[in-house]
Chain A
Amino acid sequence: MSIILKNGVVFDGFTLGTEREDILVKDGVVARRGADLAEEGARLIDCAGRIVCPGFIDLHAHFRDPGFEWREDITSGARAAAAGGYTTVVAMPNTEPAVDSQVAVEYVISRGESAGGARVLPAACVSRGRKGGRMAELGLMAQSGAVFFTDDGSPVSNAGLLKTALRYSRDLEVRIMEHPEEPSLTEGAQVNEGAVSASSGLKGWPSSAEVIDIERGVALCRETDSPIHFTHVSTEHGIDAIRRAKREGLPVSCDVTPHHLSLDENYVLVGRFSSTYKVNPPLRTRRDVKMLWNAVEDGTADAIATDHSPYHMDDKDVPFQEAPFGIASIECSVAVVLDTWRKLGRPVPLERLLSLFTSGPGALLPRSWRSLGALREGARADVTVIDMEEVRTVDVSEWKSKARVCPWSGEMLQGWPVLAMVDGRIRMNRLEEVK
């Protein structure tokens, strides 16, 4: 079965075209790109006025499977991701049991393959049981298909273990993803340290908790010459530390989240302590939000990753201090970013922004997956089509995800993914056929 995506403007992962073009997808690959393509028996999809992009990649999502399937499972998560415009998602290993073995890695892959949603690539633990003690079987898990090593949910607090893992994984082409948090500074913390902690008395989560862990990771990266990725970076000073390391030429990368790009700490007060705004790391200051956008602009940020953290209503619809940390967003996060970008007056070029969903994260995956971030003839046909004009209301009752609590619930956002295709198979589509 072949498909022609007709008359869209093509973003190939790096640059945005200026002319209308067609993309011919055949046997799961991008067969041709050009004007007025035709193919016997092909299904024609009208992409006029839309942007045809490489499939969007989310480096950081929690699918809660195995162990917490009432919050999400790999099937619901993968379908939610596709509904949100993603074609590849990296699933975090903080499950029960944790993904710290080959068999667990293979479980995630096989569940993902049958989900009928986005492609699910597993991240595996750095340490056995995610306990921060002994190193897990990194080599075997890499062989089975792990694409990141991380103890996410927690940092690798033991610097000796982190250094060992960086050295040991250097020849595996699988990056270590660090959740930057110095735990001695965040015990009991609930909100950003500053005006909101001052006025509420909730324990403050200082910026230094993030910066200290990033600086530590950078120092270990310098010594081991092994790549390290910092996820959900949320502060000005965290970004500064990464920017300096990049200028030094170190193999350091980072991602930022849609919620830290669009919400600040004041939402906790304006939302009258609604637990939907409780997240790790916490929502930061307006200045931090601005600095994250600067990081998007100057390339300090390599990717936008959701940190999709679904919870059941019974877990999350409780008073703020009792609630778990986490924002579920995978089904609206692309729209959140596009809408915020527009409202802020387009602070970065659109192609720069789109690269953080595509070629940026793609470059951080192991070599076998790296082509996912680009739309080229001969590449796997992973495609996301976006419509910058579409206005829709976030309706959590229709979500594929099991989560029903979301900061943008009921909000009208402009700029939505309208088609997602994985290996030539359409996983989400709101576009019409050409008659």
Chain B
Amino acid sequence: MEWRHRNLIGLEGWTREELLFFMEQANYMEEIINRPIKKAPALRGKMVVNCFFENSTRTRVSFEMAGKMLSADVVNWSSSGSSAAKGETLRDTAWTLEAMGADAVVVRHGQVGVPDYLAKKLRSAAIINAGDGTNGHPTQALLDLHSAWKRLGDLNGAKMAIIGDVLHSRVARSDIQAFRRMGVSITLCGPATLMPEDTDSLGVKYVSDVREAARGADILYFLRIQAERQEAGLIPSTDEYHRRWGANDSTVALASKNAVVMHPGPMNRGVEIASSVADGPNSVILGQVRSGVAVRMALLYLCLGGAR
């Protein structure tokens, strides 16, 4: 397949065939991770800049490992102590990075649309969205898809429940795009105050009762509940949240027998997910992390022209 995406801003433009092709590529990459010598020369001489304006450990490290396993040079640029702290605009920062010769800029930013903005400003560097505000986190969606697909096979017709703070979740938005494209039907669940106003427009269903959402589901996806939602008064307390929507063994028991339990991490054990579920037989949470490296390797490889 001729790979036509130079950037990854969002998954809107990806077809089902492209997603499947991408999964296969990620499988090859996972083989490299499993080798005793985890290094392939595919991206030797390519310069990847991790440009993180927001705190992140797993995503940044995952991109860094992915780049290094493919022999790219990876440098980390973080906003603290940098030009951003001195008042430089994002436009100038981006032009500076490009002038230095970056081949790919992996960007994480707290604001919606920053990767779009950079893609409009930069001529030569590939832009990869590592999370923009509440809008999207497409590599998370790809890794979620990869780990669900590995366990369940063809996802067409599968049922997925996404439970938690959808309103503020870029993971949920990207997962909805990716899983729907693969033929998965999605039900959102959680407090109405943590749901977008217009869920119909997203092509998904909403139910408030977690048992109803979990019943017969093939994928149970739990989102992180941040303490600040309680502070903002959107939920009465994290304790009430846990009792009404938190994942426990009885929630998982309602799902289909081989259902997978997923979480983007980092987890708040005892809030959105009980330890018995997080560490239980249905959990693929660590598999997601491993898929994360494989998926980011595949992405860097394809976007930086390794396939050509």
Q: Which residues of A contact B (CB under 8 A)?
A: 190, 193-195, 197-202, 204, 206, 272-274, 314, 317-322
Whether the pair B135, A202 counts as a contact (CB closer than 8 A) is yes
> Distance (Å) between the CB of B51 and the closest chain A CB?
13
For residue B201, which residues in chain A have a CB less than 8 angstroms away from its CB? 194-195, 198-199
Whether the pair A200, B199 counts as a contact (CB closer than 8 A) is no
Whether the pair A195, B198 counts as a contact (CB closer than 8 A) is yes
For residue A198, which residues in chain B have a CB less than 8 angstroms away from its CB? 196-199, 201-202
Whether the pair B202, A273 counts as a contact (CB closer than 8 A) is no
Query: How far is it, in angstroms, between the C-alpha of A322 and the C-alpha of B170 when the chains are bound?
Result: 18
Query: How far is it, in angstroms, between the C-alpha of A119 and the C-alpha of B116 when the chains are bound?
Result: 41
Select the residue from A197, A200, A318 with max chain B CB neighbours within 10 A: A200
- B168 CB–A CB distance under 8 Å: yes
Whether the pair A200, B134 counts as a contact (CB closer than 8 A) is yes
Whether the pair B135, A194 counts as a contact (CB closer than 8 A) is no
Whether the pair A201, B111 counts as a contact (CB closer than 8 A) is no
- A321 in contact with B89 given A194-B198, A201-B169, A272-B113 (CB within 8 Å): no
For residue A272, which residues in chain B have a CB less than 8 angstroms away from its CB? 9, 113, 116, 119-120
Query: How far is it, in angstroms, between the C-alpha of A194 and the C-alpha of B119 when the chains are bound?
Result: 26
For residue A194, which residues in chain B have a CB less than 8 angstroms away from its CB? 197-198, 201
Whether the pair B116, A317 counts as a contact (CB closer than 8 A) is no
- A318 in contact with B113 given A198-B198, A199-B201 (CB within 8 Å): no
Contact of A318 among B89, B116, B173, B202 (CB under 8 A): B89
Whether the pair B168, A201 counts as a contact (CB closer than 8 A) is yes
Contact of B112 among A193, A273, A314 (CB under 8 A): A273
> Distance (Å) between the CB of A206 and the closest chain B CB?
8
- B19 CB–A CB distance under 8 Å: no
Contact of B196 among A190, A197, A273 (CB under 8 A): A197
Query: How far is it, in angstroms, between the C-alpha of A121 and the C-alpha of B109 when the chains are bound?
Result: 44
Which 8 residue pairs across A and B have the least CB separation, nearest first?
A: A201-B134, A273-B113, A198-B196, A195-B201, A321-B111, A272-B116, A320-B113, A198-B198
- B117 CB–A CB distance under 8 Å: yes
Interface hits, B61-93 → A, CB 8 Å: 89-91
> Distance (Å) between the CB of B129 and the closest chain A CB?
12
For residue B119, which residues in chain A have a CB less than 8 angstroms away from its CB? 272
Whether the pair A273, B197 counts as a contact (CB closer than 8 A) is no
Find the B residue at minimum CB distance from A193.
Answer: B197
Known: A193-B198, A274-B120, A319-B90; 7 extra A-B contacts, CB below 8 A, are A197-B198, A199-B196, A202-B135, A272-B119, A314-B89, A319-B112, A321-B133
- B104 CB–A CB distance under 8 Å: no
For residue B134, which residues in chain A have a CB less than 8 angstroms away from its CB? 200-202
Query: How far is it, in angstroms, between the C-alpha of A316 and the C-alpha of B173 when the chains are bound?
Result: 27
> Distance (Å) between the CB of B181 and the closest chain A CB?
14
For residue A193, which residues in chain B have a CB less than 8 angstroms away from its CB? 197-198
How extensive is the interface on chain B, given as a class? Answer: 20 to 34
- B145 CB–A CB distance under 8 Å: no
Find the B residue at minimum CB distance from A321.
Answer: B111
Interface readout for B119-144 with A: 1 if CB under 8 Å, 0 if not?
11000000000000111000000000
Find the B residue at minimum CB distance from A313.
Answer: B91
Contact of A200 among B117, B135, B169 (CB under 8 A): B135
For residue B202, which residues in chain A have a CB less than 8 angstroms away from its CB? 198-199
For residue A195, which residues in chain B have a CB less than 8 angstroms away from its CB? 198, 201
Whether the pair A321, B113 counts as a contact (CB closer than 8 A) is yes
Contact of B197 among A197, A314, A317, A322 (CB under 8 A): A197
Q: Which residues of B contact A (CB under 8 A)?
A: 9, 89-91, 109, 111-114, 116-117, 119-120, 133-135, 167-170, 173, 196-199, 201-202
For residue A202, which residues in chain B have a CB less than 8 angstroms away from its CB? 112, 133-135
Select the residue from A194, A201, A314 with max chain B CB neighbours within 10 A: A201
Find the B residue at minimum CB distance from A269.
Answer: B12
- A201 in contact with B167 given A194-B197, A272-B120, A321-B133 (CB within 8 Å): yes
For residue B199, which residues in chain A have a CB less than 8 angstroms away from its CB? 198
Query: How far is it, in angstroms, between the C-alpha of A195 and the C-alpha of B170 when the chains are bound?
Result: 15
For residue B170, which residues in chain A have a CB less than 8 angstroms away from its CB? 201
> Distance (Å) between the CB of B234 and the closest chain A CB?
12
Find the A residue at minimum CB distance from B195.
Answer: A198
User: Would you list 26 pairs from A and B whose C-beta atoms are within 8 A, ordered by A residue?
Assistant: A190-B112, A193-B197, A194-B201, A195-B201, A197-B196, A197-B197, A198-B196, A198-B197, A198-B198, A198-B202, A199-B202, A200-B113, A200-B135, A200-B173, A201-B135, A201-B196, A202-B133, A202-B135, A272-B9, A272-B119, A273-B112, A273-B113, A314-B89, A319-B111, A319-B114, A320-B117
For residue A318, which residues in chain B have a CB less than 8 angstroms away from its CB? 89-91, 117
Whether the pair B135, A322 counts as a contact (CB closer than 8 A) is no
Query: How far is it, in angstroms, between the C-alpha of A305 and the C-alpha of B9 when the chains are bound?
Result: 37
- A319 in contact with B197 given A201-B135, A314-B89 (CB within 8 Å): no
- A317 in contact with B133 given A194-B197, A194-B198, A273-B112 (CB within 8 Å): no
For residue B90, which residues in chain A have a CB less than 8 angstroms away from its CB? 318-319, 322
> Distance (Å) between the CB of A55 and the closest chain B CB?
39
Whether the pair A200, B112 counts as a contact (CB closer than 8 A) is yes
Contact of B133 among A197, A199, A201, A314 (CB under 8 A): A201
Whether the pair A201, B198 counts as a contact (CB closer than 8 A) is no
Query: How far is it, in angstroms, between the C-alpha of A319 and the C-alpha of B91 when the chains are bound?
Result: 9
> Distance (Å) between the CB of A165 and the closest chain B CB?
33
Query: How far is it, in angstroms, between the C-alpha of A198 and the C-alpha of B188 when the chains are bound?
Result: 13
For residue B116, which residues in chain A have a CB less than 8 angstroms away from its CB? 272-274
For residue B133, which residues in chain A have a CB less than 8 angstroms away from its CB? 201-202, 321
> Distance (Å) between the CB of A317 and the closest chain B CB?
7
Query: How far is it, in angstroms, between the C-alpha of A239 and the C-alpha of B304 when the chains are bound?
Result: 52
> Distance (Å) between the CB of B109 and the closest chain A CB?
8
Find the B residue at minimum CB distance from A195.
Answer: B201
Select the residue from B89, B133, B168 with max chain A CB neighbours within 10 A: B133
For residue B111, which residues in chain A have a CB less than 8 angstroms away from its CB? 319-322
For residue B168, which residues in chain A have a CB less than 8 angstroms away from its CB? 201
> Distance (Å) between the CB of A255 and the closest chain B CB?
27
For residue B91, which residues in chain A have a CB less than 8 angstroms away from its CB? 317-318
Query: How far is it, in angstroms, between the C-alpha of A194 and the C-alpha of B117 when the chains are bound?
Result: 23
- A204 in contact with B173 given A319-B111, A319-B113 (CB within 8 Å): no
Find the A residue at minimum CB distance from B177.
Answer: A199
> Distance (Å) between the CB of B184 and the closest chain A CB?
18
Find the A residue at minimum CB distance from B121.
Answer: A317
Find the A residue at minimum CB distance from B89.
Answer: A318
- A199 in contact with B173 given A194-B198, A204-B197, A272-B120 (CB within 8 Å): yes
